[in-house]
């Protein structure tokens, strides 16, 4: 394979992703919560033992701790992107490595997006749409995102004027 694209995402992407994964992991709490509610409202003999609930909670806590700590970092390490006048080159994926090339002249529009979490870390996603597909470069610095967006749009315009 050709060498990976040269740029990496912003380092603070890791922190932002940790936060968003942590929020996603909050849903794990629902599982023991469900058991607990079931226990309190069901007739006595039918309930689950406290043991089960505690051990499930512990396992879930450990798992989500690992996910929150390691996954964003690994994901960050595997993300590369590069934009030049001919193409947008993306590489991502931990197990399944996906390499995507978008000819710049195919780009229909580019936009940057920011949720509350990304904003608090000064980050933004760049979304690139063609007539058939949509691609995302996640979590770039705000300034970088702006530059990347403008660059792609400029190259796309140039390519069209060329022809």
Q: Does 3 bind other proteins (CB under 8 A)?
A: no
Q: Which of 12, 129 has the CB closer to other proteins?
A: 129
Q: Which stretch binds other proteins (CB under 8 A): 48-56, 70-78, 111-119, 125-133?
A: 125-133
Instruction: Give kind and range of the element (H or E) at residue 139.
Output: strand 134-141
The reply to whether 131 sits near other proteins by the rule CB under 8 A is yes
Phi-psi region of 123 (alpha: psi -120 to 50; beta: other; left: phi over 0): beta
d(CA 82, CA 155): 13
The 98-117 site mask, x for binding other proteins (CB under 8 A), equals xxxxxx-xx-x---------
Residues that contact other proteins, how many (by CB under 8 A): 25
Minimum distance of other proteins from residue 74's CB (angstroms): 14
Angle between helices 50-77 and 30-41 (to 10 degrees): 170
Alpha-carbon gap, residue 163 to 8, rounded angstroms: 32
Report CA-CA distances (Å) from 147 to 37, 110, 141, 155, 156.
Answer: 51, 12, 10, 12, 14
Cβ-contact 112, 122 below 8 angstroms: no
Q: From the list 79, 83, 87, 149, which residue makes contact with other proteins (rule: CB under 8 A)?
A: 87
**H or E element at residue 111:** strand 109-113
Nearer to other proteins, 20 or 130 (CB): 130
Q: Which stretch binds other proteins (CB under 8 A): 18-26, 42-50, 54-62, 127-135?
A: 127-135
Note the residues at the interface with other proteins (CB under 8 A).
1-2, 86-87, 95-103, 105-106, 108, 130-133, 135, 159-160, 162-163
């Amino acid at each position: 394979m050709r060498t990976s694209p040269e740029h990496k995402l912003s380092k603070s992407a890791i922190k932002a992703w940790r936060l968003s994964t942590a929020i996603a992991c909050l849903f794990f709490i629902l599982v023991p919560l469900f058991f607990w509610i079931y226990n309190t409202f069901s007739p006595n003999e039918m309930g689950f033992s406290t043991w089960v609930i505690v051990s499930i909670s512990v396992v879930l806590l450990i798992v989500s701790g690992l996910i929150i700590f390691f996954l964003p970092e690994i994901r960050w390490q595997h993300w590369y992107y590069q934009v030049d006048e001919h193409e947008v080159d993306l590489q991502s994926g931990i197990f399944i490595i996906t390499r995507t090339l978008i000819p710049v002249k195919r780009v229909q529009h580019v936009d940057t997006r920011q949720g509350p979490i990304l904003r608090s870390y000064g980050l933004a996603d760049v979304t690139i749409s063609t007539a058939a597909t949509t691609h995302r470069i996640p979590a770039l610095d705000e300034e970088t995102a702006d530059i990347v967006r403008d660059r792609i749009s400029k190259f796309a315009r140039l390519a069209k004027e060329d022809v």
